[in-house]
Structure 1
Amino acid sequence: MTEPLLSIDEIVTEFRVEGGVVRAVNGVSLDVRPGETVGVVGESGSGKSVTMMSALGLLPGHGRVVAGHARFRGRDLVGLAERELERIRGREIGLVFQDPMTAFNPVMTVGEQIAEGLRRHQAGLSRRAAGARVVELLAEVGIPAPERRARQYPHEFSGGMRQRAMIAMAMANRPALIIADEPTTALDVTIQAQILDLLGRVQQETEAALIMITHDLGVIAEMTERVVVMYAGRVVETADVDTVFHEARHPYTRGLLRSLPRLDHRVAELPAIGGQPPNPQALPPGCSYRPRCPLNQGRDECLTRPELNPAGRGHRSACHFHAELAGLTGGVE
């Protein structure tokens, strides 16, 4: 098996907030190998995006990584000087943000911003050559009249076109890794499908690894090879995509799967996971999922935090009772 391109190892991230400290990421580990597509899934607030921002040194001022490592091509990004991180971001790691309207500078044209990334990471590239490459990139991601569009500002683009331009910027320097953070949020279904198809095509053409951060299991099923499920700042299950969808061994994963609409099964209403995600400032003792878990039933073991233990070949689950889920095809009642 090839060495990981990115290896996140026991990352712990805290934010200072009014009233104390919030531990948003609590010992997360995951690997991504060259050319691999990994999905990171979970409810809002589970720590998906913060994990990646921690690895890339993009946390806001009140956040900090207090433990762990994030090694990219063997080099630890945690604690790396900002100038060194800037050389890696955009050149070796491309980013597709959730909201391109806020990711783009509103007072620079889209073409200027893409060209800036090209010239920063490609020494000696002239303005003329960068401009020509921008037009090529916009055409490659399906933006019509790319020469005219390159001279426009982000607010003159539709939401779907802004996301296409963000993908063009991410792929501009042919990075080894692309991180897409909820890339289809707030887009209509037709545009979502186009953006996902574009990401898949870009990955195939550049041979980059792809991390897809999402709360949408449909996106996970369509796009990824391996899945990392997060809850309350921790990884609770990880396996290849077929195993997660057919042999999930954590009750939270099964709850997510039960809430998916299915064409072959008619129901009056979709089942939902009871309760709410825990307050990260006041996590329950032991298993964070315990208050919502149908397997809990007052068991003492649930008062001890479960580790991410083997549940099969290449399959790990952070549930004391994952063996009870073996062979079940439906959700946990």
Structure 2
Amino acid sequence: MTEPLLSIENLVTEFRVEGGVVPAVNGAGYHVMPGETVGIVGESGSGKSVTVASVLGLLPSSGRVVSGTTRFAGRDLLALRERELEQIRGRDIGLVFQDPMTALNPVMTIGEQIAEGLRRHQAGLSRRAAGARVAELLAEVGIPSPKERARQYPHQFSGGMRQRAMIAMAMANRPRLIIADEPTTALDVTIQAQILDLLRRVQREHDAALVMITHDLGVIAEMTERVVVMYAGRVVETADVDSIFHRPRHPYTRGLLRSLPRLGERRDELPAIGGQPPDPRRLPDGCSFRVRCDLSGGRAECGFQPALTEVAAGHVSACHFHAELAAEEVA
């Protein structure tokens, strides 16, 4: 059986803040197979982006990985020095961020920024060859007049074009894994569809794995093969996309799906999950979701943290009462 390209196990990450320490990731773990598309979904603050930042050494100075293991292509990323991680980022792992205007350098041209990544990871690449590759990449992601556009600055690009340039930069060295963190949040619906189509196409053409981090379940349904659901810094459910959408086995996943508008249904108000995600500084004992859960009913079992349990082939859930959801189907 093929080994995972990326494997994260029991990851714990915390941030130092005034007055103490905030746990942001609490034992999270998942894996990504070669060529696979995995969606990471959950409300803001669930730990989706912090998990990836922990793996890639991109935490701010206030953050630190307390424990856990992360392996990429067999290498323990947490054991690598910063210089070694820099070689992996941009070469083997390409990153597409939510806001390209903050990710791109405003005082460098688009071409210079893409070429910088090429020359850093391809020793001996000439300036002329790098320029030709930049134009090729910009054309590949659908930017017209790529040679002229390469000489322009980020502020001269529209939002959609900046995101295309970010994708070109991420794909420059033909990475084995692309991580896209909310890549379409700031874009209108039409441009969002174009960017998703572009990501799908470049992933297929480069035979890369893709991790799609988003709060948008529509994007998850359209783009992914397998879904990881996170809540309060933990993974609470993992399954293939069809099982997640039609046979969820965690009440949090079910609540997220019920809040989606559906074609053909007329509702005055969409059902929402009651309450708010817990303050990470004051996580409740036991199951973190129990105070918002319509399945718990104050049952004593919910006072104990549920372990991830295989409930079907390839389907795991962290709920004491997952069997009670088995008979339900979310259309």
Q: Distance in 2 between matches of 1:173 and 1:189?
A: 29
Structure 1 stretches of 4+ moved >6 Å: none
Aligned residues: 331
CA deviations 1:86-108 (Å, max 9, x no partner) are 00000000000111111111111
1:147, CA displacement in angstroms? 1.1
- Structure 2 stretches of 5 or more lacking a match? none
CA distance in 2: counterparts of 1:330 and 1:104, whole angstroms: 41
Quote the residue 2:146 is aligned against: 146
Deviation of 1:270 after TM superposition, in Å, equals 1.1
1:279-308 CA-to-partner distances (Å, cap 9, x unmatched) read: 000111111001100011110100101111
| Paired letter, 2:213 | I
Alpha-carbon distance, 1:9 to partner: 1.0
Q: Name the structure 2 match of 1:177.
A: 177
Counterparts of 1:108-119 in structure 2, within 5 Å, are 108-119=108-119
Structure 1 equivalent of residue 261 of structure 2: 261
Following superposition, the deviation at residue 130 of structure 1 comes to: 0.3
Residue 18 of structure 1 deviates from its aligned partner by: 1.1
Aligned to 1:250: 250
Aligned to 1:94: 94
Q: C-alpha deviations, 1:205-253, integer Å up to 9, x for none?
A: 0000000000001001100000000000000000000000110000000
- Decide whether the 8 Å contact of 2:248 with 2:330 is kept in 1: no
Overall identity of the aligned pairs, in %:
79
SS at match of 2:284: coil
Match of residue 292 from structure 1: 292
1:213 paired residue number: 213
Deviation by residue 1:257-293 (Cα, 9 ceiling, x = unmatched):
0011111322122111110011000111111001100
The CA distance in 2 between the partners of 1:245 and 1:319, in whole Å, is 17
Range 170-179 or range 256-265, more displaced: 256-265
* Equivalent-residue separation in structure 1 for 2:192 and 2:51 (angstroms): 24
Structure 2: distance between partners of 1:188 and 1:243: 29
1:123 maps to 123
Range with bigger deviation, 318-327 or 260-269: 260-269
Shift of 1:120: 0.6
Separation in 1 of the partners of 2:261 and 2:208? 31
Q: Report the residue type matching 1:5 in the other structure.
A: L
Partner residue, 2:236: 236
Corresponding residue for 2:310? 310
CA distance in 2, matches of 1:8, 1:38: 13
Q: How does 1:20-99 map to 2 (within 5 A)?
A: 20-99=20-99
3-state SS of paired residue (2:106):
coil
Equivalence map 1:272-283=2 (5 Å): 272-283=272-283
| TM-superposed deviation, 1:139 | 0.7
Q: TM-score, normalised by structure 1?
A: 0.98
CA-atom RMSD in angstroms: 0.9
What TM-score, normalized to structure 2?
A: 0.99
Q: Paired residue for 1:186?
A: 186
The amino acid that maps onto 2:118 is: L
Distance 1:70 1:99 in 2: 26
* Structure 1 residue 8: Cα displacement: 0.6
214-223 vs 260-269, which moves further: 260-269
Give the aligned partner of residue 222 of structure 2. 222
Deviation at residue 156 of structure 1 after TM alignment: 1.1
SS in 2 for 1:281: helix
**SS of alignment partner, residue 51 of structure 2:** helix
Alpha carbons 2:178, 2:210 under 8 Å: kept? yes
Cα deviation for residue 146 of structure 1 reads 1.0
Structure 2 distance, partners of 1:269, 1:158, is 35
Unaligned runs of 5+ in 1: none
Residue 17 in 1 paired to residue 17 in 2?
yes
Aligned partners of 2:79, 2:107: CA distance in 1, in Å?
32
Q: Which residue of 1 aligns with 2:105?
A: 105
1:202 aligns with 2:205: no
Hey, what's the Cα distance between the residues in 1 that align with 2:302 and 2:40?
A: 25
CA distance in 2, matches of 1:124, 1:252: 51
Q: Distance in 2 between matches of 1:18 and 1:290?
A: 28
On the 8 A contact 2:98/2:186 being kept in 1, the answer is no
CA positional deviation for 1:152: 0.7
- Residue in 2 aligned with 1:328? 328
**SS in structure 2 opposite 1:237?**
strand
* 2:237–2:316 contact (8 Å) kept in structure 1: yes
